[in-house]
Structure 1
């Protein structure tokens, strides 16, 4: 089984970061319902579309997902 997207995303956390992915990671850290064990694009994107008011655009998730694929897979 590959590393979960959440675990990858947590490597992008930076409390002082100014880029969108670090803001996404910082907010996801505090999201208790985030699907932390998932590595499924559709499950995570569906969750974010319905619940992540902290995400300004799904393109931020898509960019983070692309980085996940490049680093983890």
Structure 2
């Protein structure tokens, strides 16, 4: 198996929310989940069960790619 030179990127949702001054309450409402569920995603207490539209809205709100978001929300190694 050949290692990739491609840098693995991810987002830190909690950090982005702070930098962009986005409240968890607003983001939860924007993507259609409870604030409690969003907090669990940020703290990595549970993996989100989001539909494609919710993922798209989350990427837009955080200004990140789907790949970056998935690396943060689902901490698994993604093959290139």
TM over 0.5: no
TM-score (norm 2): 0.38
User: Which one has a larger percent helix, Structure 1 or Structure 2?
Assistant: 1
TM-score (norm 1): 0.40
